[in-house]
Amino acid sequence: MSQQRRRRTPAEQARRNRNIWIGVGALLVAMIICAASAFSGGMWVLGLFGRDDEAVATSPTWSADSAELTIAVSPVMAPVLQEMASSFNSLDLHTPDNKKMTIWIVPVVPEQMVEEAIGLPNYQAISPDSSLWLDQLEQEWAARQADSPTDTQIPIGQRRVSAQTRYAVSPIVIAAWEQVARELGWPNRPIGWQEIQNKATEDPNFKWNHSATNNASGLLATLAEFYAGAGLTRGLTVEAATAQSTLDYVQAVEGTVRFYGEGEEVITKRLAEEGRGFLDAFVAQERVVIDWNSRNPDDPLVAIYPAEGTLWTDHPLALLELGSQSNELAVTDNQRLTYQAFADFLLAPDTQGRFLSLGYRPADLSLELDAAGSPFAGNTLVDWRQPQTTLQMPSPSVIEVVRNVWYYTKRPTNVYLVVDTSGSMEGNKIVRAREALAAFVQQIQGDRDRLGIVEFASGTKTFLPLRVMDEKNRADTLDVINDMDAYGGTALVDAVYAAVTDIAAQDDSGAINAIVVMTDGQENESYYRLHDLEQLLNSTGSTRPVIFTIAFGNDADEPLLTEMARIGQGQFRRADETDIEELYRIISTYF
């Protein structure tokens, strides 16, 4: 399809030139305001635990004798470790020089945790949901410290992580509603990835999900698929992972995924809000199934243990070795004592029993999983005797290859970015919107995903049709983004209607079709109404796109955006200038 960009009329061009100068003045004012009130009150409703960006941006400080230990923890485990930290802190333990040992918990997505831990983290220890993130951290740290590109081996004394303690584990399962599990053959026969693929192929209404590979459950599930495709249970190599037969197998399975996305905590939140219509099955830690069933006994999930084998989240606690970089404080001797005391506390019999009661399998193997009072005892929806086959964790180099290759085997995407550049977007908003859109475009990899842009105000300013982001198209798309300016009204529904119409015309049911809508104002100039949009969506059949809506700032029409996301079977999110780029990044994980 050829590129369609409408020329500006002379009046529009004159208005554009005037708005550039107005925008410069507004940006200067916005910069002054932001300098006075940075990070003070931005909305952060991303389905994740928020972080204080100011704390990340500045060099962290603590006293040379501090006994306070801050731990970055994966979001699923964070509430649990917060409970443990509160219990530990109540013990009122002190170091030999009488400093109180205190634990602070900071929820952080593991991929972000790795990135921050290489820089100047505002914490001294980390607890991702899998040790694979520790391996990635060490690999990236070694590459940064190496004297040459091929020299990635550094002495143990110079590693980024020293002490490690694994305090709980949970196997990766396919969580499914009980009726769905029975349709798949549970409990009478083993069920694996092939059965999931067959069900999704035969039943177009079957919806299943695993999160993107920046989450442990998504990455571990993807590794399990590569193992299954290679016909192995251990010793997965780069050669086996990239064999054409393996890639064909993984692509067939991935081709039935409805969408990707964030971790289990977001999935279960949406399950609670939307019920069975949201998903039929999804990949998660076994513990998520136990927790869901304890809260929803009348609508339970079943844990399906993949017949080909599975991997485990092993929840390590690791101390960072800080102090080797410029302006970086070292971990204090007292913080080391606090780390060891907390590690011992996590492995104590009472604490291990608490992990078991919460649905984790404890590190203490002497605790019987089927003992009275255990959530596994008498529970037919999870099976403590499973999994029958545990897959071997591949080497970091193989994991890196699998993550890279996955972009070429996952289900392809057709996504339209529908962008409001009306007059209310003047100043810092349009600047931040351009940056966020550019970052979204830059992260698209491979030649199977296509992206288009609908820039709108009183009408469509620019309609850039779906195109593969090769070098030329990417550069052209970035030029379009950089050329966006703010003027006009807000014909929001018309712009989304145009995107849906084009996606339907593509008739590409093999792809994830999606629309990401961003506006900061009130609908005031559309010909179409939401009812018309809903009718159009209902007519698209298997090509129906999912619609994500973003309310940018305080003046956006949240009721309309919420309803648009509902009829688009997607999500509504809020953002401001400080987090719009991060929100676009999170939404990109769904594709």
3-class SS letters over 34-48: HHHHCCCCCCCECCC
pLDDT at 422 over 80: yes
Which is more confident, 23 or 201? 201
Q: How far apart are CA 23 and CA 324, in angstroms?
A: 44
The mean per-residue pLDDT over the stretch 38-64 comes to: 46
pTM of the complete model: 0.84
> Beta partners for 552?
575
Quick one: pLDDT band at residue 10, thresholds 50, 70, 90?
A: very low
What residue ranges in 421-511 does DSSP mark as E strands?
Answer: 450-456, 460-468
pLDDT at residue 58 in the model: 54
Q: How far is CA 563 from the centre of its chain?
A: 24
Which pLDDT does position 170 carry in this prediction? 98
Between CA 362 and CA 346 the distance in angstroms is: 10
Are residues 377 and 219 in contact, defined by beta-carbon separation less than 8 angstroms? no
Q: For the residues of 212-239, what is the DSSP string, one character each?
A: -TTSHHHHHHHHHHHHHHHT-SS---HH
**Per-residue tokens: 139:** 């690999």
More confident residue, 31 or 193: 193
pLDDT band at 415 (very low <50, low <70, confident <90, very high): very high
**What is the tally of helices (H) and strands (E) in the chain?**
21, 17
Q: pLDDT value at position 22?
A: 34
How far is 467 from 472, CA to CA, in rounded Å?
10
Task: Scan for tokens 């635990």, then name that residue.
Answer: 49
Residue 242 has pLDDT above 80, yes or no: yes
Please, which pLDDT band fits residue 19 given cuts at 50, 70 and 90?
very low
The predicted-structure confidence for 498-524, as pLDDT tens digits, reads as follows 999 999 999 999 999 999 999 999 999
Helices 349-357/78-90 angle, 10° precision? 150
pLDDT of residue 163: 86
Q: Which residues of 381-420 are buried (b: 16+ CB within 10 A; e: fewer)?
A: bbbeebbebebebbebebbbbbbebbeebbbbbbbbbbbb
Whether the pLDDT of residue 4 is over 70: the answer is: no
CA-wise closest residue to 181 among 455, 337, 380, 16:
380
Give the per-residue pLDDT at 41.
28
Q: How far apart are the first and last CA of the chain?
A: 22
For residue 31, pLDDT beyond 50: no
For residue 447, the model assigns a pLDDT of 82
Lowest mean pLDDT among 29-43, 144-158, 245-259, 525-539: 29-43
CA pair distance 357, 379, nearest whole angstrom: 13
Contact 346, 165 (CB under 8 A): yes
Q: Is the pLDDT of residue 146 over 80?
A: no
* 329 against 34, higher pLDDT: 329
According to DSSP, the β-strands at 460-468 and 450-456 are: antiparallel
Among candidate residues 228, 234, 270, 266, the one with its CA nearest the CA of residue 250: 228
Of 134-148, 279-293, 399-413, the poorest mean pLDDT is in: 134-148
Q: Report the alpha-carbon distance of residue 360 to residue 372 in Å, rounded.
A: 16
Q: Which two tokens stand for residue 300?
A: 């339970």
pLDDT mean over 148-161: 60
411 touches 254 (CB < 8 A):
yes
**Given this model, what pLDDT does residue 148 score?**
46
The average pLDDT across 1-10 equals: 38
| pLDDT of the residue at 362 | 97
> Which pLDDT score is estimated for 176?
98
Instruction: Give CA–CA dist 170/192, Å, rounded.
Output: 18
**Residue ranges with strand state E in 299-449:** 301-304, 312-313, 316-320, 361-362, 413-420
Cβ neighbours of 31 (radius 10 Å): 13
Tell me the pLDDT band of 147, cut-offs 50, 70 and 90: low
Q: How far apart are CA 137 and CA 142, in angstroms?
A: 8
Between CA 505 and CA 543 the distance in angstroms is 9
Q: Domains in the chain, ordered, with CATH?
A: 53-168+314-362 (3.40.190.10), 170-312+376-408 (3.40.190.10), 412-588 (3.40.50.410)
pLDDT of residue 204: 87
Query: What confidence tier does 59 reach under pLDDT thresholds 50, 70, 90?
Result: low
pLDDT surpassing 90 at residue 446: no
Of 244, 272, 277, which Cα lies nearest the Cα of 258?
Answer: 277
User: With contact defined as beta carbons under 8 Å apart, do 494 and 460 qualify?
Assistant: yes
Looking at residue 137, its pLDDT comes to 94
Of 407 and 85, more confident: 85
Question: Across residues 273-278, what is the average pLDDT?
Answer: 90
Question: Does residue 26 have a pLDDT over 80?
Answer: no
Task: Report the candidate in 367, 340, 365 with the shortest Cα–Cα distance to residue 353.
Answer: 367
Q: Which residue has the tokens 């008498």?
A: 378
Q: What pLDDT sits at residue 157?
A: 53
What integer pLDDT is reported at residue 407 of this predicted model? Answer: 85
Res 48 pLDDT > 60: no
CA–CA distance from 530 to each of 162, 203, 453 (Å)?
Answer: 56, 29, 20
Encode burial over 522-537: b for 16+ CB neighbours within 10 A, e otherwise: ebebbebebeebeebb
Mean predicted confidence (pLDDT) in 312-327: 93
| Phi, psi (degrees; rounded to nearest 5) at 277 | -65, -15
Q: In 3D, which of 536, 544, 542, 511 has the Cα closest to residue 204?
A: 542
Per-residue model confidence as pLDDT tens digits over 345-373: 999 999 999 999 999 999 999 999 999 99
Cα atoms in the 13 Å half-sphere on the side-chain side of 402: 29
pLDDT, greater one: 24 or 252:
252
pLDDT at position 51 over 60: no
Residue 158 pLDDT? 77
CA atoms within 13 A on the CB side of 316: 19
pLDDT over 90, % of the chain:
77
Determine the pLDDT at residue 2: 36
- Give pLDDT, residue 35: 33
Contact 367, 356 (CB under 8 A): yes
Q: Which string of b and e fits 76-99 if b means at least 16 CB within 10 Å?
A: bbbebbbebbeebbeeebebeeeb
Pairing of β 312-313 and β 168-177: antiparallel
Scanning the structure block, which residue is given the tokens 């300098």? Answer: 35
Q: Which amino acid is at 239?
A: E
Q: Is the pLDDT of residue 28 over 80?
A: no
Provide mean pLDDT across the span 408-422. 95
Provide the token pair at 184.
Answer: 């798949």
Q: Report the mean per-residue pLDDT for the chain.
A: 88
With tokens 């026969």, the residue in question is: 189
Residues 374, 520: Cα–Cα separation, whole Å: 50
Q: Which of 505, 435, 503, 425 is nearest to 461 (CA)?
A: 425
Q: Confidence class of residue 214 from pLDDT cuts 50, 70 and 90?
A: confident
Strands (E), 48-207: 68-73, 102-107, 125-127, 161-166, 168-177
Q: How much is the average pLDDT of 385-389?
A: 96
Q: What pLDDT does residue 47 have?
A: 32
Ramachandran category for residue 315: left, alpha or beta (phi over 0 → left; psi -120 to 50 → alpha): left
